[in-house]
Structure 1
Amino acid sequence: MIEPSEKAKDIIAGLGAFIRDEIIPLEKQENLEWGEAHPREILRDVWKRSCELGFYNVMLPEDLGGAGLNVVDLCAVKESAILTGSMLAPHVLGELSGPPRIGHLFRVASGVQVEKFLQPVCRAEKAVCFALTEAEAGSDASAIKTSARRDGDFYVLDGAKRYISGAPYADFAVLLAVTGPGSGAAGISAFFVDLKSSGVRVESDYQVMSGAGSHGNILLDNVRVPAQNLLGEEGAGFKLAMGRITLNRLLHCPTMLGMAGLALNLSIDYARTRVQFGKPIAMFQAVNHMIADMATELHAARSMMFATAALNDAGGDIKVQAPMCKLFASEAAFRIVDRAVQVHGGAGLIRGNPVEWLFRATRMMRVLTGTSEIQRNTIAKGLLMPG
């Protein structure tokens, strides 16, 4: 089995202690619940405290203040955070609105943009979201309609983004808009957009399956964005957005498998303590076979993820393996959590039980960041039309 480095193991130990000693007690003190909206003030406190301790930027390269971890180590650290059982664990690593979302932008951002947008995110002073998806542009991301026309020293943006993760608590968005109509992907540009600007409205009056407070729509009506907020060159936005898609598909897997591993651990604990017919339900073959199947699928998915991460770290091409991992991990995670609900019985159906939330969250993962069907298309294309 591929093991993380000693550096990563030290980070995992420190991260686990921080979450155990500070974050989980905070969740209890504030009466936070799985799947409910968490107050922005609490999230900001978590970001800042994590930043002080060095965890918020840990996924960045060393020259940007991170730990400089390879992909195997990144997978191990991300998975370990979820396995703590903390509902705020992703926020500790800045996964939803922090440094991992903007690390790759340092190489294309201007000095002014680094100082105004990127560095404040790394200091936990501002939160960011990535805004691409629209009503008619989901899997076909190049079909976006939001427009950006040049007007002197500004661009004027009009359109609407929807289902944007992190939008309700973000300060600004990295937002894609069409600057070259009729040019397809080559006509799409990226902008830093202050979400407090005149003409911008964030709607978050709906909730996705995983709960409230983490997704929203961004509406733009005649929004004047300084030309210096253009990220890179005109027409380079789509390439910028898709440039890391292969690696990102792999890096979504530790989150999903962390959820599955947490569900397995919760099921083992529950099966050992839940008594029916005078003995723990772990003694019943129907239950222990479910747990055996959960553990087996998790082992297979984790082995696949770490093998692909190791291949990437060795300089190998993972353009087929990464979507394979995303496909298998997302579907395996859902099957594992589905069995966890079955093991928990009625308790697993109640809002507030982590297993119930994990069921909803893992079901979303088969759609988010590229549906299972899109992953299959990518895999087949890589096998049938290599090069």
Structure 2
Amino acid sequence: MQPIQASAKAQGIIADLQGFIRDELLPLEQREGIRFGEKHDRGLLRDLWKRACERGFYNIMLPEELGGAGLGIADLCAVKEAAASSGAVLAAHVLGELSGPPRIGHLFRVASDVQIEHFLRPVCRAEKAVCFALTEAEAGSDATAIKTTARREGDHYVLDGAKRYISGAPYADFAVLLAVTGPGKGAEGISAFFVDLAAPGAKVVSDYQAMSGPGTHGDILLDGVKVPVEHRIGEEGKGFKLAMGRITLNRLLHCATMLGMADLALRLSVEYARTRVQFGRPIGMFQAVSHMIADMATELYAARSMMYATAASYDAGGDIRTQSSMCKVFASETAFRIADRAVQVHGGAGLINGHPVEWLFRATRMMRILTGTSEIQRNTIAKGILMPD
């Protein structure tokens, strides 16, 4: 029930992706007993990344000249939504979203030839996994407040500090990491580096779990880690601008994942409401349940329309800085409301750890924090309206 028609090319990719998930991924998950909200074996993930790469899915989100599908943003939203709504636990890994090409595609424009061959190409071949490390204990929404330092000594930098809540860190080989090279200069004093997480002094700690489950987030500890100067990304002091350069677009693309989750929650609720019998009839026949489902579908349609309209504007060359934040706050809060109602429709079944709607409830709640909190989005929206450039 999407309000925008994906291109013929995107429809073909979605059909192939759904076939791969149906014929290979779901049977794999059943054989291995993989459930939502559980830690996944690193070897199994690496095998999946390689298989997805062989089938052409892993690099889909890259530009065509880098081996991707060369899709517009509206089409990318359609592909991402299809993956997230598939019901497969590991669907995001098929597109490389957590540790693969989508994390580093924009860096091809600024990376050196050495960096491209040593870091970027291996990620695109599913040989290495990457994470993005910015957040720290005292630097969340205020990203320029990071304390991790990079002190230059001859032909290398020495990094000291700690990164917190880094998505994908437990199975990453290296990080795209931001550190302060010019103290007191704010954003202009922050540089970006490729950091080998197996280097002496580097350590990944994942002794906690996020709401969505264990094994996906970790802290990166840096104690005198030596990083060659040639592994600095771009100019010194330009790392923050580099990192934030795609945040507007990334916020919009994250909406597709959120709404794919919401779509899955809705479909599971419809199926349950049709088959769960109480008082002699399916619970979907009761107005209290049917009205919840009606509200879920209506809000999902509204959020989708908003996202695809913004994506179409971007594809036409429009400035979507304000609209992207609008989409992010609306999609994340809508997805959570839909997941919340899905738990209510499922009753006791929806409270059991490992049930899809129980996991969706937790995962969509995180989305109101990740990639900029709802409060930060509202700041951006208000600024765009009250103080336009």
SS in 1 for 2:242: helix
* Aligned pairs (5 A) from 1:104-123: 104-123=106-125
- Residue of structure 2 equivalent to 1:381: 383
* Aligned pairs (5 A) from 1:79-94: 79-94=81-96
- Residue of structure 1 equivalent to 2:62: 60
SS in 2 for 1:55: coil
Correspondent of 1:257 among 231, 235, 259? 259
Residues in 1 aligned to 2:197 and 2:388: alpha-carbon distance in whole angstroms: 42
Residues in 1 aligned to 2:44 and 2:272: alpha-carbon distance in whole angstroms: 30
Residues in 2 aligned to 1:325 and 1:162: alpha-carbon distance in whole angstroms: 26
Q: Which amino acid aligns with 1:58?
A: I
SS in 2 for 1:228: helix
Residues in 1 aligned to 2:275 and 2:225: alpha-carbon distance in whole angstroms: 57
Q: Which amino acid aligns with 2:300?
A: L
Residues in 1 aligned to 2:43 and 2:356: alpha-carbon distance in whole angstroms: 23
Q: Which amino acid aligns with 1:144?
A: I
Residues in 2 aligned to 1:247 and 1:123: alpha-carbon distance in whole angstroms: 24
SS in 2 for 1:378: helix
Residues in 2 aligned to 1:175 and 1:247: alpha-carbon distance in whole angstroms: 20
Correspondent of 2:281 among 272, 279, 285? 279
Correspondent of 1:157 among 148, 156, 159? 159
Residues in 1 aligned to 2:157 and 2:21: alpha-carbon distance in whole angstroms: 43
Residues in 2 aligned to 1:209 and 1:82: alpha-carbon distance in whole angstroms: 18
Residues in 2 aligned to 1:356 and 1:107: alpha-carbon distance in whole angstroms: 41
Q: Which runs of 5+ in 2 are unaligned?
A: none
Residues in 2 aligned to 1:3 and 1:71: alpha-carbon distance in whole angstroms: 13
- Residue of structure 1 equivalent to 2:98: 96
Residues in 2 aligned to 1:233 and 1:150: alpha-carbon distance in whole angstroms: 13
Residues in 2 aligned to 1:297 and 1:2: alpha-carbon distance in whole angstroms: 16
Correspondent of 1:354 among 345, 356, 367? 356
* Aligned pairs (5 A) from 1:282-321: 282-321=284-323
After TM superposition, the score normalised by the length of structure 1 is 1.00
Residues in 1 aligned to 2:282 and 2:4: alpha-carbon distance in whole angstroms: 35
Q: Which amino acid aligns with 2:230?
A: Q
Correspondent of 1:237 among 236, 239, 245? 239
- Residue of structure 2 equivalent to 1:71: 73
CA deviations over 1:110-165 (Å, ceiling 9, x no partner): 00000000000000000000000000000000000000011111100000000000
Residues in 2 aligned to 1:230 and 1:82: alpha-carbon distance in whole angstroms: 34
CA deviations over 1:295-348 (Å, ceiling 9, x no partner): 000000000000000000011110110000000000000000000000000000
Matched residue pairs, number?
A: 387
Q: How many Å apart are 1:2 and its aligned residue?
A: 2.1
Correspondent of 1:6 among 2, 5, 8? 8
Q: How many Å apart are 1:50 and its aligned residue?
A: 0.3
Correspondent of 2:32 among 17, 30, 33? 30
SS in 1 for 2:16: helix
* Aligned pairs (5 A) from 1:132-211: 132-211=134-213
User: Identity over the aligned pairs, expressed in percent?
Assistant: 77
After TM superposition, the score normalised by the length of structure 2 is 0.99
Q: How many Å apart are 1:364 and its aligned residue?
A: 0.4
Residues in 2 aligned to 1:179 and 1:352: alpha-carbon distance in whole angstroms: 44
Residues in 1 aligned to 2:22 and 2:305: alpha-carbon distance in whole angstroms: 27
Residues in 2 aligned to 1:126 and 1:29: alpha-carbon distance in whole angstroms: 26
Residues in 2 aligned to 1:201 and 1:383: alpha-carbon distance in whole angstroms: 44
Residues in 2 aligned to 1:317 and 1:300: alpha-carbon distance in whole angstroms: 21
Residues in 2 aligned to 1:166 and 1:365: alpha-carbon distance in whole angstroms: 16
Correspondent of 1:367 among 366, 369, 375? 369
SS in 2 for 1:192: strand
Q: Which amino acid aligns with 2:98?
A: L
SS in 1 for 2:144: helix
Correspondent of 2:133 among 113, 128, 131? 131
